[in-house]
Amino acid sequence: MFELALVFLLAFVTTFAVLPPLIRKLKASGITGKDENKPHAPEVAEMGGITIIIGVVAALLFSIALNTFVFNSSFFSTDSVLAALATLLIMSLVGIYDDLFEMRQWVKALLPLAAAIPLVALKVGVTTLDLPFMGPVNFGIFYVLILVPLGIAVMSNLTNMLAGFNGMEAGMGIIMFAALSVISLSQGNVSMAILSLSMLGALLAFIVFNWYPAKVFPGDIGNLSIGTMLAACVIVGNFESAGAILSIPYVLDFFVKLVNKFPHTPGTYKNGKLYAPEGRVRGLVQLVMKLSNGISERNLVMFFIATELVFALIAIAVYVRF
């Protein structure tokens, strides 16, 4: 649809236009982070994820105006998109605070439960889930009050953990939202398509500046927003199984880190390659570093993007009949 193409394009153009001046302002204000996987750990502008939020907000507000004044609310569910937008904005505040003041981990894990209130209040989503080996199961009020907040909390924190390498967060996000866009369009779910396409457009613009060597980092505001929108998309579209498939790499990383009590160990740089610190596996990225006996950051990121692509194709195969 031409209207959906406009939503995607507006998110891309807005994010792309806002990023260069924001990068300059962030560096001038000292809002930077060390690129720990490079020689001498250069300072790079942090909190660039703000532009992702700006791009998505611009696209969603445009789509809402289009739906209200052109289509008389017949194009998609305005309530669902507004609820997802409100949840995304609440999570962006959490991300900004964490970027500036380093929030305690348990607080960051619980606050997304509150961010889900707009989705809960409007009872967004369908309470009946089609579970593997069980078929359709109606969770009723349990879905609204428990599963929706948990989905937002879990996904936002998972995407914030598998991060820290140039282009990884945005690259994997692009694959996920491209898959969700294909699924939503194939199923005729316009509300979900608008959410996924707006995020896809913003991430495609962002990765231009975030790809190796990065000129800007997404920060927690960017990482949290990716997981939040992923959860919001599958809740609005009732494609929770797709969300579960797409999140498998993040879940695997979580359990590896859980065993190691969530250490912060990006990698040890030597002669253009990254190695697992002290040869120990503390997360999924260190596992890849160890198995490859050292890997460049660019190739490490490409490996995880390719891994996400495999699960994206599986999710598409489940829902799309060619």
Q: Which sequence spans correspond to the domains of the chain?
A: 2-248
Contact (Cβ atoms closer than 8 angstroms) between residue 23 and residue 44? no
- Kindly report whether the peptide bond that precedes residue 213 is cis, defined as omega within 30 degrees of 0: yes
Give the lowest-confidence range in 51-55, 64-68, 106-110, 202-206: 106-110
Q: How confident is the model at residue 289 (pLDDT cuts 50, 70, 90)?
A: very high
The Cα–Cα gap between 82 and 60 comes to 8
Return the amino acid letter for 25.
Answer: K
**Position 248 pLDDT exceeds 70:** yes
pLDDT at residue 64 in the model: 95
Residue listed under structure tokens 């428990």: 146
Confidence class of residue 135 from pLDDT cuts 50, 70 and 90?
A: low
Per-residue confidence at 131, pLDDT binned at 50, 70, 90?
A: low
Mean pLDDT value of segment 96-112: 83
Which of 62-76, 240-254, 273-287 has the largest mean confidence? 240-254
- Residue 264 has a pLDDT of 67
Q: What is the pLDDT of residue 134?
A: 66
Q: pLDDT grade, residue 132 (50/70/90)?
A: low
